Amino acid sequence: MRARVWFRIHGRMFSAGWRRGSTYRAAALGGLVANAVFGFLKASVLVAAVRAGGGDIGGYDATAIVAYTWLGQALLGSVNLNGRSDLATRMKDGSIAVDLLRPVDLQTATTAQDLGRALFSLLPRGVPLIALGVLAGGMRLPLDPLILALGAFSVVAGTTLSYLVVYLVAVAGFWIVETRGLQTAYMIVSGFLAGLFVPVTLFPGWLLTLARATPFPSMLQTPIDVLSGRLTGAESAQAVLVQLAWITGVLVVGQVVTGAGRRRLEVQGG
Amino acid sequence: MAEHSRLRPYRVLLGARVRAQSSYRASFGLDLLTSLLIGLVELAEVWVLYRSVDGIGGLDLTAALLVFGLADTAFSIADLVVGHLDTLPQYLRAGTFDVFCLRPQPLLAQLVTSDISLRRLTRVAVGITVLTGALITADVPLTPENALLLLLALVAGTLICAGIFVAAAGAQFFLVDASEMTNAIVYGGRYASTHPAAVWSRPLVALFGFGVPMAFAGYLPTLTLLDLPTPWNLPGWAGWLAPLAALWTAVVAGLSWRLGTRHYQGGGG
């Protein structure tokens, strides 16, 4: 019974996020154009790099790097690599007090809502960019339904993980109120370590180790590698398990931090 | 004398902005630090990509860093001075832009002096450091000719980037909600300017080589400076054409801004 209520509430939050995403059509179009231009620019530079590297850099050949670029652009509307969230705004203006009065868990409810928004944006941004990558960019996707299913799961996992970490950035506001600096820091670090610019496997050893010690590669590089079929069989299953481990870890940290923050919160004014 | 008094309000305003930003020491220090981090991460992207191969599009790591140093310094200076123009959609949506229209001063001059992002100073520093380092590593002889080319490239590059910011701001009057569309040009242009333009496809050459002439901000001057082969059947001295590219951007920016402000009908306030 309680489980049914939980699912109903979180389902509602999810569809609220979905509807919100569908409201701002011009913004989605703008994002699409920006991602497409970056897709063409990055693909040309990275393909040239692959050619200069004798047909392979960091385990990517020309077709793999093209798929990497376009899938990365396609997921950018869903995976939160900018650190911004509605929650951060609500923390700052005090509306968080109202949120905390509700008999739902702040972390899971806002995650469900953001996941709705993020997955909706796959329609106006993800799908057209994948189509553009296939038609104009020379990208290929594996047709194996098993790979595609695991890839889709990995995309949802990466998106969820990205929000859960952004949630941590937002609830840091319990202590420091203005989280803009943290958001910017998150934006700079996450894109680089998630493999948005170049695959992290191209990094020198020490930097690769550093990247793999963070959840960021699990947000973008893993979904891309699984979906494009670059990782197969046991490797892809392992990569998805790493994603799930990060999600569990960040969920637990988020619960602890939210609990501590609740006791700390002081909202001024009436 | 008349000129002097006409510029005075702007000077006073800018002075106030500078004091305002630097008076919250801790916050300003943090802003400088984040900005430095942005510059370093952008540099790391180039370094990671070029360290794993011999050269991309005819540029080795040193030449690539020279392109990065020139283009990024130019972009960062432009960003410092006019970068805040990209908040225009927020003014338009909130209706606060009308306040600017009421004052008897040119709109663009008011907007440009409405803010200055001093925190971006550290990014300029990253660009200049990389540029200097690359010049030393590449062993470029310091002849008057080379110095002039570098200076021209920096000034023209800055004007090109500033022009793109203004042109993008003019387009906001039509786009409002789709401001990311101009980000494709502004920030896509920044990305484009720090990479070898020789690898681009035809549409990209048309867009970022000549339409939005980012190739003239760093890439072409570097080729001329290092005496490297030039793409697209351009002569070896193509780097000297940067001021022409800057002039072209200024014309486009002026037109876009005029069209935009004429189109604007007020926030209904």
Q: What is the ipTM of this complex?
A: 0.85
Q: Report CB contact under 8 Å: B188, A30.
A: no
C-alpha to C-alpha distance for B217 and B203, rounded to whole angstroms: 19
pLDDT at A267 over 70: no
Give the model's pLDDT for residue A154: 94
Percent of chain A with pLDDT over 90: 31
C-alpha to C-alpha distance for B83 and B94, rounded to whole angstroms: 20
Q: Report CB contact under 8 Å: B41, A192.
A: yes
Q: How confident is the model at residue B1 (pLDDT cuts 50, 70, 90)?
A: very low
Give the model's pLDDT for residue A121: 86
- Smallest Cα distance from B75 to chain A, Å: 17
C-alpha to C-alpha distance for A244 and A239, rounded to whole angstroms: 9
Set of chain B residues whose Cβ sits within 8 Å of the Cβ of A204: 48, 51
Mean pLDDT for the stretch of residues B88-95: 79
Question: Which of B42, B199, B200, B214 has the most A C-beta neighbours within 10 Å, making it the best mutation to test the interface with A?
Answer: B199
C-alpha to C-alpha distance for B139 and B225, rounded to whole angstroms: 11
Give the nearest partner residue to B54 out of A52, A58, A181, using CB atoms.
A52
Q: Is B112 exposed, middle or buried (0-12, 13-18, 19+ CB in 10 A)?
A: buried
Identify the DSSP state of A200. G
pLDDT at B228 over 90: no
Question: Which of A32, A89, A196, A197 has the most B C-beta neighbours within 10 Å, making it the best mutation to test the interface with B?
Answer: A197
Cα first-last separation, chain B: 38
Q: Report CB contact under 8 Å: A29, B53.
A: no
Set of chain A residues whose Cβ sits within 8 Å of the Cβ of B189: none
Q: How confident is the model at residue B210 (pLDDT cuts 50, 70, 90)?
A: confident
Mean pLDDT for the stretch of residues A246-265: 90
Q: What are phi and psi of A81, to 5 degrees?
A: -110, 15
Set of chain A residues whose Cβ sits within 8 Å of the Cβ of B188: 34, 37-38, 41
Set of chain A residues whose Cβ sits within 8 Å of the Cβ of B49: 45-46, 49, 198, 202
Residue B209 in contact with residue B160, Cβ under 8 Å? no
Mean pLDDT for the stretch of residues B31-58: 86
Set of chain B residues whose Cβ sits within 8 Å of the Cβ of A45: 49, 56-57, 195-196, 199
Give the nearest partner residue to A41 out of B38, B44, B191, using CB atoms.
B191
pLDDT at A266 over 50: yes
| Strand partners of residue B56 | B59
C-alpha to C-alpha distance for B162 and B82, rounded to whole angstroms: 6
Q: Who has greater pLDDT, B216 or B114?
A: B216
Q: Which of A235-244, B147-156, B168-177, B218-227 has the lowest mean pLDDT?
A: B168-177
C-alpha to C-alpha distance for A228 and A68, rounded to whole angstroms: 7
Q: Report CB contact under 8 Å: A41, B177.
A: no
In A, minimum Cα distance to B181 occurs at: A30
CA distances, B227 to each of A8, B147, B151, B265 (Å): 68, 15, 17, 52
Set of chain A residues whose Cβ sits within 8 Å of the Cβ of B200: 41, 44
Mean pLDDT for the stretch of residues B125-131: 91
Residue B66 in contact with residue B134, Cβ under 8 Å? yes
Give the nearest partner residue to B192 out of A41, A181, A204, using CB atoms.
A41
State the maximum Cα–Cα separation within chain B, in Å, rounded to a whole number.
Answer: 60
Give the model's pLDDT for residue A247: 95
Q: Report CB contact under 8 Å: B175, A26.
A: yes
Cα first-last separation, chain A: 37
Percent of chain A with pLDDT over 70: 97
Establish how many alpha carbons lie within 13 A of residue B162's alpha carbon, considering only the half-sphere containing its beta carbon.
Answer: 19
Residue B138 in contact with residue B145, Cβ under 8 Å? no
Q: Report CB contact under 8 Å: B180, A27.
A: yes
Identify the DSSP state of A57. B
**HEC profile for chain B?**
CHHHHHHHHHHHHHHHHHHHHHHCHHHHHHHHHHHHHHHHHHHHHHHHHHHCCCCECCECHHHHHHHHHHHHHHHHHHHHHHHHHHHHHHHHHHCCHHHHHHCCCCHHHHHHCCCCCHHHHHHHHHHHHHHHHHHHHCCCCCCHHHHHHHHHHHHHHHHHHHHHHHHHHHHHHHHHHHCHHHHHHHHHHHHHHCCCHHHCCHHHHHHHHHHCCHHHCCHHHHHHHHCCCCCCCCCHHHHHHHHHHHHHHHHHHHHHHHHHHHHCCCCCC
Give the model's pLDDT for residue B123: 87
Range from A4-13, A236-245, B97-106 that averages highest in pLDDT? A236-245
Establish how many alpha carbons lie within 13 A of residue B255's alpha carbon, considering only the half-sphere containing its beta carbon.
Answer: 6
Mean pLDDT for the stretch of residues A35-56: 88
pLDDT at A270 over 60: no
- Smallest Cα distance from B45 to chain A, Å: 7
Q: Report CB contact under 8 Å: A188, B41.
A: yes
Q: How confident is the model at residue B269 (pLDDT cuts 50, 70, 90)?
A: low
pLDDT at A85 over 90: no
A/B interface, count of CB pairs below 8 Å: 106
Q: Who has greater pLDDT, B92 or B126?
A: B126
Kindly report, residue by residue over A147-191, the tens digit of the pLDDT. 899 999 999 999 999 999 999 998 888 887 677 878 888 988 999
How do the domains of chain A map onto residue ranges?
Answer: 2-264
- Smallest Cα distance from A199 to chain B, Å: 10
pLDDT at B234 over 90: no
Average pLDDT of the residues of chain B: 84
pTM as predicted: 0.86
Contacts of A149 (CB under 8 A, 6+ apart): none
- Smallest Cα distance from A144 to chain B, Å: 31
Q: Report CB contact under 8 Å: B48, A202.
A: yes
- Smallest Cα distance from A36 to chain B, Å: 8
Give the model's pLDDT for residue B208: 86
Q: Report CB contact under 8 Å: A202, B177.
A: no
Give the model's pLDDT for residue A241: 95
- Smallest Cα distance from A1 to chain B, Å: 44
How do the domains of chain B map onto residue ranges?
Answer: 2-263
Q: Who has greater pLDDT, B58 or B244?
A: B244
- Smallest Cα distance from A28 to chain B, Å: 7
Give the model's pLDDT for residue A268: 64
Q: Report CB contact under 8 Å: A198, B49.
A: yes
Establish how many alpha carbons lie within 13 A of residue A57's alpha carbon, considering only the half-sphere containing its beta carbon.
Answer: 28
Q: Encode burial over B158-195: b for 16+ CB neighbours within 10 A, e otherwise.
A: bbbbbbbbbbbbbbbbebbbbbbbbbbbbbbbbbbbbb
Q: What are phi and psi of B47, to 5 degrees?
A: -60, -45
Set of chain B residues whose Cβ sits within 8 Å of the Cβ of A191: 41
Q: Report CB contact under 8 Å: A192, B45.
A: yes
Q: Report CB contact under 8 Å: B180, A49.
A: no
